[in-house]
Chain A
Amino acid sequence: MKEIINLPVHSIEEEEYHINMGPQHPSTHGVLRLVVTLQGETVKKVQPHCGYIHRGIEKMCEKDTYQQIIHLTDRMDYLSAHINNHAVCLLVEGALEVEVPERVKYIRTIIDELNRIASHQLWWCSFGMDLGGLTCFFYGLRDREHILDIFEESFGSRLLHSYYTPGGLMQDIHPNFQKRTKDFIKYFRKKIKDYDKLLSGNVIFENRSQGIGVMSKEDAINYGVSGPSGRASGWSCDIRKKYPYGVYDKAEFNEILRTDGDTYGRYMVRMDEMRESMKIIEQLIDNIPEGDYTAKMKPIIKLPAGEYYQRVESARGELGIYCISDGNKTPVRMKFRTPSFVNLGVLDKLSRDMKIADLVAIGASLDLVIPDIDR
């Protein structure tokens, strides 16, 4: 056990020292361990050590049927649980070439976007808190609660939903769903202005975030930083636009792109994405067609032998699922390309020669979810 804890760290220069941020640390949002090499207050190197919440989800998938795998994907990126489920459903539906009812596609798209807003709200909370503005946390959670209430009413759970099944949904949406969603959009359009007042326009915040952790477009592509973090560097990588799934091709929305690539840019991309998500929901919510909430599926799903890849745009970036099937009811290999794990890789490059406080801000702006890193 001792050898595992004292992993060989890189050599140390004169006047440098290590600190362990995590696995128990307020700003790593979980059990991420960063071995930070410091010179005074200046960060010289960041070494992430993963594995503190590794649950072997990929291995467990090899023993589970495809319906059961959905429940495991909830536990990866728990803040965008629906989107993870969506990826598995799309994978299975694509492999079996099942035509999903139009109603299901609409509902899935709306719920995905609601989930994205909820995820970005929680990101906003923790981002404010990491910069020392504790009040943000409560404003964000207050508004997120409305989305969770909508979720709870329709499918009974607030965080880990497992609402999607291969071919459709567990059950139909609650009759109140459309009305409550519209009410929420109306409410949140007002409240998002508070977010801007509290944080975005603040001088201290701007000084803390502008020009901090600048990531060039080349870096974003080389490191594979996708999602809002990559788009802040000007890399157009929105799966919803590039490879539309659900009914994203029927909705009018912009891919938010910025060119500054700093912490402030990543912040603003997420703020604007919340507005875009609301736009998507507004367009779709009144047009949900009537019909079945699930396609006819066999009780035991067996994918034809072969390799499959499916990607979706999760709240943190590109979530890819690579699956090898030999024709049995369980996959031979299931690999998740989770956005947080890939985005974590760039943390060292961004935070070199910055202060500790900047390291925290950059880490928060990448929006890492630790169970998503470790799986």
Chain B
Amino acid sequence: MAFNIYDFTSFNQSIDKALYEWLPPFWAMIVEMTIIGLVFLLAYAVVGLLLVYAERKVCAFMQNRVGPNRVGPYGIFQTIADFIKLLMKELVYIKDSDKLLFNIAPFIVIIASFMAIAAIPFAKGLHAIDFDIGIMYVVAVSSLGVVGILLAGWSSNNKYSLIGAMRSGAQIISYELSVGLSLLTIVVLAGTMQFSQVVELQSSGWFIFKGHIPAVIAFIVFLIASTAETNRGPFDLAEAESELTAGFHTEYSGIKFAFFFLAEYMNMFIVASIAATVFLGGWMPFHISGLEGFNHVMDFIPPLIWYIGKTAFIIWLMMLFKWTFPRLRIDQLLNLEWKYLLPINLVNILIMAFIVLMGWHF
């Protein structure tokens, strides 16, 4: 059971083998699933809290402030304190609300993000499940969250919530196209949808460099569309604080609000992970074919660090967007998608296909 920071495959396989030796196959599978579930649950909470803290610090940096700095060193426990506060808050009962839908809506949102995270490769061999249609799966599953948002808006018996939910529905369904098509551009280049292979193929250079201009365009489109899909500024129309008070989660309080809040940050983490994996090589170190010495030096940095670094970079970019730009209007938002991003995307796929056909990529 050799633990290797560069390759988790043997480590995971040895655990798997040991479990199956000790237990009957059914129970071994149950234990494995439980372990993975617990690990993800823990990671989910930790990443969520870290991202909230990071957002506050980045936002403070953008806004000439210090940010949280009282609870713990540099305020790192501030988010935990806030979370405890949210846990202890009263759950407000809304008169004439659809109670069942109102209660399950936050869970649908959080389950959607939870399911998407399962397919993402964090490092070599560090992978809950490696579908051969991984990209397709993530795109499909992450868009389930809109059901939760629509239900939340519908069941709250509040017009602000309803407007927010309708906006969110229109927005997410539209931008789903751009997310899918920009990922498809890379699928054309890679020739596979399996995340592990997508990453392996980038060992000689990340796709954003390999795919010429179409890959760069796809990356930019993906960044815009995924920011919109996670309902973050400048596309935060579903919340639109100055227009709809808080949009679809106006009536939620306490832990249910925390679920929405956490799911938003996890969605951001997921789209950043996908962008990092598909465009920037995931956990694959930065390689330039031909420069053996340089590649070796890069290999010394563990894959997990590469993965976290790239994801953090994209999250940071998305935070900068949010704290710089004013919000779009709903018709402008849909115009941007249907009149600009979608045609660009379609042409982009054709160009990419042509490049792959002619063998012009690196």
Contact = CB atoms under 8 A, between A and B. Distances in A.
Contacts of A185: none
Given A27-B243, A129-B242, A132-B236, A205 B159 contact: no
Instruction: Determine chain A's interface SS by DSSP, over half rule.
Output: helix
A26 interface: yes
Q: Which 5 A-B pairs have the closest CB atoms?
A: A132-B327, A131-B326, A133-B326, A138-B63, A27-B242
Given A204-B327, A357-B243, 12 more contacts: A27-B242, A128-B326, A131-B242, A132-B327, A135-B323, A135-B324, A137-B63, A208-B332, A356-B243, A356-B244, A357-B329, A358-B329
B316 to A, nearest CB: 15
B240 interface: yes
Contact of A138 (B65, B159, B327): B65
B252 interface: no
A21 to B, nearest CB: 9
Interface in A90-127: none
Nearest to B329: A357
A198 interface: yes
B327 A357 contact: yes
A177 interface: no
A204 B234 CA distance: 9
B49 to A, nearest CB: 22
A8 B354 CA distance: 66
Given A131-B326, A133-B325, A208-B326, A355 B331 contact: yes
Contact of B323 (A25, A134, A205, A358): A134
Contacts of A204: 234, 325-328, 332
A133 B324 contact: yes
A128 B63 CA distance: 13
27 contacts: A25-B245, A129-B242, A132-B240, A132-B241, A132-B326, A133-B326, A133-B327, A134-B59, A134-B63, A134-B233, A135-B62, A137-B63, A138-B65, A139-B63, A202-B326, A204-B325, A205-B326, A207-B329, A208-B326, A208-B327, A208-B329, A208-B332, A355-B329, A357-B237, A357-B327, A357-B329, A358-B329
Contacts of A129: 242
Contacts of A360: 242-243
A74 interface: no
B77 to A, nearest CB: 24
Contacts, number: 81
A131 B332 contact: no
A129 B326 CA distance: 8
Contacts of A19: 159-160, 163
A355 B330 contact: yes
Interface in B295-342: 323-332
Contacts of B4: none
Contacts of A199: 326
A360 B329 CA distance: 11
A186 interface: no
Nearest to A354: B329
Nearest to A357: B329
Interface in B66-90: none
A243 interface: no
A356 B213 CA distance: 39
A121 B10 CA distance: 62
A130 interface: yes
Given A132-B242, A356-B243, A360-B243, A208 B323 contact: no
Interface string A344-371: 0000000000011110100000000000
Interface string A286-320: 00000000000000000000000000000000000
B254 to A, nearest CB: 20
Contacts of B163: 19, 41, 356
Interface in B15-56: none
A138 B326 contact: no
B64 A138 contact: yes
A202 B244 CA distance: 23
Nearest to A364: B242
B325 A202 contact: yes
Contacts of A17: 159
Contacts of B240: 132, 357
Contacts of A139: 63-64
The listed residue with most B CB atoms (<10 A of its CB), out of A19, A202, A204, is A204
A135 B63 contact: yes
Contact of B328 (A26, A142, A208): A208
A329 to B, nearest CB: 46
Contacts of B237: 357
A355 B59 CA distance: 29
B327 to A, nearest CB: 3
A143 B159 CA distance: 38
A135 B320 CA distance: 10
Contacts of A207: 328-329, 332
A47 to B, nearest CB: 16
A17 B329 CA distance: 20
A137 B59 CA distance: 12
A212 B219 CA distance: 33
Contacts of A357: 237, 240, 243, 327, 329-330
Contacts of B326: 128, 131-133, 199, 202, 204-205, 208
B242 A26 contact: yes
Nearest to B328: A204
Contacts of B242: 26-27, 129-132, 360
A249 to B, nearest CB: 39
A139 B65 CA distance: 10
The listed residue with most A CB atoms (<10 A of its CB), out of B59, B167, B324, B329, is B329
